[in-house]
Amino acid sequence: MGLQAGTGALLIVALNATVGLIQSVWAITACTYVIAGSSTGTIDRVKRRIIGTLIGVPLGLAFLPLAATMPVVVWIAAALAMVIYAMALPERYDIACGAFAFTLIVTLAVAGEHSVPVLAARAWETLLGGALGLAAATLLFPLRAPMSAQQQKLSDQDR
């Protein structure tokens, strides 16, 4: 798993040196966070990350009007989202990613970051990182999930 994440991160560093990515840290984060113990696990994490992001970002955008008028409410919502993130991370990666995406959007707005190019760079570079992580996990160093005892028994019987 370390080789998979490291290979993807190294490619992102090379891309950053070549073309100058604006938010390369988001690409590296996405690349390393989607790696799981098997290729199918990584594919599942990528799907869950996409689903969570597709829910969290619109919710965060819906909260943006409150950022200027009631920043305390937005900070409280972001804090609650991070509690949800921490609780959901081990079992529900999709919910954790949604909570993180929500927090990212609203804290950027409350902190005064309203740049569409920065937000767009974070979005596409996150997609780039996820794609490179997925490619590393499925093409370069594919890992298989360990067989359960029952699967091992069936495999032994087939021989």
Q: Could you tell me the pTM of the whole model?
A: 0.74
Would you write out the chain's pLDDT as a tens digit for each of its 159 residues? 888 888 889 999 999 999 988 888 888 888 888 888 888 888 888 888 888 888 988 898 888 888 878 889 989 999 999 999 999 987 898 999 899 989 988 888 877 777 777 777 878 888 888 888 888 888 887 777 666 655 555 555 555
**According to the model, what pLDDT value does residue 108 have?**
82
Amino acid identity of 131? A
Provide the pLDDT for residue 95: 94
**Which residue reads 């028994």 in tokens?**
153
Question: Rounded CA gap, 83 and 100, in Å?
Answer: 10
Q: Where are the domains of the chain?
A: 2-144
Q: What is the DSSP string of 56-87?
A: HHHHHHHHHHHHHH-HHHHHHHHHHHHHHHHH
